[in-house]
């Protein structure tokens, strides 16, 4: 009888252990199904307007100030292995901003960038990447600490995320471009878009021209011709001769010439094709910016003005920089013997683009008004030199 009290004590102890075990299991299940805990940013970070910037999440092995850095931006759900080809094709510094649509894309984006850096020597040599997300996603620019068991769902969030019209319309293209510029460390820049590929030796050739010509006249941009290549073409053009053959067979066209004629036309195309290599690398000098819908792509000094961040996505967000460069009294040189190309020939606007532009119209109108006022205040002497900005 003396041993009876020991039985309930041991039973209570076992029940206590069982309850504790159930509590732990339920807690782990709860944390997997609900929220994340926040941890400090694992990379250097800053608050830029209403966005958090985690910069240099991967860095190049070398930094060369005298080269041309490609300034690039992309959303996390679009980012894929095409970036490896773009870096390898450029064969020089690239500063990339990756914009997150949701905070759930953070970890899979980091893992992808680290992976391609390990697998590609070109990426390891040249790519510098930064991540941007809305401050509203995370207090104090912290990031979610996701349990290892959630790794697979996090990865699928990057790969399979279907962006809404609202998310695309809200994409901060000019902020992303400016962030990539801020953290670039090269003397010269070329501001590009995803999947822009270049003729062989572009950076080496143009760097030599830039070092000479921009020293003569710093307020010059070096414009290059851009084209679209039929997706069926497997052998991509390496030089003007290759490109000319594709152009004559209608497998290459001036960029967006069938979608938005005039935006990327540069005079003298046939002469450019037939002209032998020039001694100074320039097809023409001191050209004037003469139409408001012209969006020449160019190489310049890194000190040029930044993109106006008030302009919304797909409504003159890139053209606006050309407007300001004109008002700032920049002239245009046309490069010879080099070009950019993009796979796929765009034929017409799709409904998605039209909906995005409709949604952003009011923002654009306000941005355009503010831009004109700023131009007249900052560059009074060139008011009548440049075409009037318009949609």
Question: How does pLDDT run across 190-243, given as a tens digit for each residue?
Answer: 999 999 999 999 999 999 999 999 999 999 999 999 999 999 999 999 999 999
271's tokens: 């002469």
Q: What pLDDT was estimated at residue 261?
A: 81
Please give the Cα distance from 372 to 202 (Å, whole number). 35
54 occurs within a structural domain = yes
% of the chain surpassing 70 pLDDT = 85
Per-residue pLDDT at 358 exceeds 90: yes
Whether residues 188 and 53 fall in one domain: yes
Answer whether residue 127 is part of any domain: yes
- Are 203 and 191 within one domain? no
| Domain annotation covers residue 15 | no
Q: Which domain-ending residue is among 195, 217, 232? A: 195
Phi then psi dihedrals of residue 323, to 5 deg: -60, -45
Burial (0-12, 13-18, 19+ Cβ within 10 Å), 91: middle
Q: pLDDT tens for residues 17-66?
A: 544 444 443 434 333 333 334 555 578 899 999 999 999 999 999 888 99
Within a domain: 235: yes
Domain shared by 88 and 46, yes or no: yes
| Residue 121 sits in the same domain as residue 136 | yes
Does residue 286 share a domain with residue 268? yes
Q: What mean pLDDT do residues 9-21 have? A: 48
- Evaluate whether residue 240 is within a structural domain: yes
pLDDT for position 278: 79
One domain, residues 306 and 165: no
pLDDT digit string, tens, across residues 243-288: 999 999 999 999 998 887 888 999 999 999 998 777 899 999 999 9
- The closest alpha carbon to 132, from 105, 155, 152, belongs to 105
Residue 30 lies in a domain: no
Portion of the chain with pLDDT greater than 90, in percent:
76
Q: What is the pLDDT of residues 79-126, one digit of tens each?
A: 999 999 999 999 999 999 999 999 999 999 999 999 999 999 999 999
Torsion sign across C-alpha atoms 383, 386, 388, 391: negative
Domain count, the chain: 2
Q: Is residue 23 part of a domain?
A: no
- Of the three residues 167, 195, 223, the one that is the final residue of a domain is 195
> Does residue 301 sit in the same domain as residue 229?
yes
Domain that holds residue 252: 196-391
Q: Are residues 379 and 278 in the same domain?
A: yes
- CA nearest 210: which of 297, 86, 291, 298? 298
Beta partners for 46? 53
Considering the domain boundaries, does residue 4 fall inside one? no
Q: What is the pLDDT of residues 118-165, one digit of tens each?
A: 999 999 999 999 999 999 998 788 886 653 334 444 444 566 678 999
Tell whether 117 and 52 lie within a shared domain: yes
Which among 173, 195, 217 is the end of a domain? 195
């Amino acid at each position: 009888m003396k041993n009876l009290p020991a039985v309930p004590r041991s039973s209570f102890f076992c029940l206590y252990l069982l309850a504790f075990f159930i509590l732990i299991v339920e807690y782990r299940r709860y944390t997997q199904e609900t929220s994340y805990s926040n941890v400090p940013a694992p990379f250097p970070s800053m608050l830029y307007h209403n966005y958090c910037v985690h910069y240099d999440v991967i860095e190049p092995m070398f930094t060369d100030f005298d080269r041309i850095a490609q300034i690039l931006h992309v959303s996390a759900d679009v980012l894929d292995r095409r970036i490896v080809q773009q870096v390898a094709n450029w064969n020089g510094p690239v500063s990339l901003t990756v914009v997150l649509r949701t905070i759930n894309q953070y970890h899979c984006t980091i893992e992808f960038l680290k992976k391609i850096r390990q697998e590609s020597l070109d990426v390891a040599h040249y790519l510098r990447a930064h991540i941007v997300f809305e401050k509203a996603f995370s207090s104090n620019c912290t990031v979610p600490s996701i349990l290892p068991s959630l790794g697979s769902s996090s990865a699928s969030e990057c790969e399979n995320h279907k962006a809404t019209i609202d998310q695309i319309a809200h994409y901060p293209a000019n902020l992303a471009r400016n962030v990539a510029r801020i953290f670039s460390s090269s003397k010269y820049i070329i501001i590009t878009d995803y999947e822009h590929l270049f003729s062989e030796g572009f950076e080496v050739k143009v760097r030599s021209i830039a070092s000479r010509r921009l020293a003569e006249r710093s307020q010059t941009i070096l414009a290059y011709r851009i084209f679209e290549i039929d997706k069926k073409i497997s052998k991509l053009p390496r030089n003007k001769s290759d490109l000319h053959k594709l152009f004559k067979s209608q497998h290459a066209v001036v960029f967006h010439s069938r979608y938005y004629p005039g935006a990327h036309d540069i005079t003298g195309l046939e002469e450019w094709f037939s002209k032998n290599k020039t001694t100074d690398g320039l097809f023409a000098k001191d050209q004037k910016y003469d139409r408001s819908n012209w969006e020449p792509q160019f190489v310049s000094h890194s000190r040029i003005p930044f993109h106006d961040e008030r302009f919304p996505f797909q409504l003159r967000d890139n053209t606006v920089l050309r407007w300001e460069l004109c008002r700032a009294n920049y002239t245009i040189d046309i490069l010879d013997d080099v070009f950019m190309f993009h796979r796929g020939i765009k034929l017409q606007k799709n409904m998605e683009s039209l909906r995005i532009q409709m949604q952003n119209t009011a923002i654009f109108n306000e941005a355009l008004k503010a831009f004109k006022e700023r131009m007249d205040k900052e560059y009074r002497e060139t008011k009548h030199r440049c075409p009037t900005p318009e949609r």
